[in-house]
Amino acid sequence: MDNLERIGRLVSDSGFAALSAGNLVMIGVGLILLYLAIGRGFEPLLLIPIAFGALLVNLPLSGIFDPAGTSSEHGGILRMVYEVGTATEILPVFMFLALGALTDFGPALANPITFFLGGAAQLGVFVAMLLAVILGFRIEAAAAIGIIGGADGPTSIYIASKMAPENLGAIAVASYTYMSLVPLIQPPVIRLLTTKKERSVEMPQLRKVTRLERILFPITVALLVGLLLPAAVPLIGMMMFGNLLRECGVVDRLSKTAQNELCNIITILLGISVGATMGADQFLRPETLKVIALGLIAFIFSTAGGVLFGKLLYLVTGGKVNPVIGAAGVSAVPMSARTAHLEGLRTNPRNFLLMHAMGPNVAGVIGTAVAAAVMISVLQGR
């Protein structure tokens, strides 16, 4: 074999020879996501692993996401992570443990009415689900798409891996992209649905929540929700366990591990394995554009649902509740709470709504998980 033949074989065996137009498009998508995460700071903790997973899976002949029995006996390394951790729901469920340890439910406990705002902000979930069915998606896939409106990435990944694995990449990307765009999506909706007088309402300082309340809350929620809605136990149960580690005050090592090491490891593995589902053959389909469009609709209607219920509370309480905090029921913690606070501050420089907005914000996390559990219970029991 002469040198020319060797060079020819090297070229034919390289990824360049097998690179398709679809691969190039998806590599471009991955690079755009990396720019948004690194250059613009849009949800970098998960967008960076997802984007890099998309780059790796679109490098031809790498075998990094090949099924078992193709390039190797066990398949590609990211396929193994996906099959063992994401498809089995282990990683999304344990992410909820970490989220529980990171979440302070104090603002919601100090003003329990804000739990209703978190529930009202699930409107977009059901609107998007209905539209997805009309557009021809399976009812299970429509439910997974609707959860994008809850602005809870781990829940979106959990229900997609369980009910619509073929749309997992699109759902995850839409969910985290729109979460990062909350400061752009929510303000126009808030201003459209509220008056300057409503946005100017100043709310009194929240009461101090006792340690006993903080400890009893996760125990009570786990028991009640688990008995009423067994399908919610994997998500709500693990979240409440993580929150108990945080609030009980006697297992600081476990609480810090859940908040840091565990959360970081799961974030890396979950993100890069989800990104690996974004192969050109799976992602470049008309359904992907539909998922992305429906995700935006879901976010808009979820924001509207929270704000409109906030207006109802404004009327019922005689103007004591600022309806802007209803937008924070979209559980992009803490970005939607911060957005609501800034909208109130923009109208009234003395209006500090952040802690009030954190109530519906953390309540929205529970609301989205419950909505997902209801869908799983109803649809998987058909």
What digits encode the pLDDT tens for the residues 125-183? 999 999 999 999 999 999 999 999 887 888 898 999 889 998 988 998 888 888 888 88
pLDDT-based confidence at residue 342 (cuts at 50, 70, 90): very high
What digits encode the pLDDT tens for the residues 55-91? 999 999 888 998 877 767 778 999 999 999 988 889 9
User: Which one, of 283, 263, 267, 291, lies nearest residue 55 by Cα?
Assistant: 283
Cα angle for residues 375, 379, 382 (degrees, 5° grid):
150
User: Which one, of 76, 58, 59, lies nearest residue 67 by Cα?
Assistant: 76
Q: Please, which residues have CB within 8 angstroms of residue 296's CB and are 6 or more apart in sequence?
A: 174, 178, 185
pLDDT of residue 152: 81
pLDDT of residue 233: 92
What letter would DSSP give residue 354? H
| Distance between CA atoms of residues 100 and 242, nearest Å | 4
What digits encode the pLDDT tens for the residues 198-254? 999 999 989 999 999 999 999 999 999 999 999 889 999 999 999 999 999 999 999
| Distance between CA atoms of residues 86 and 91, nearest Å | 6
CB 148 within 8 A of CB 120: no
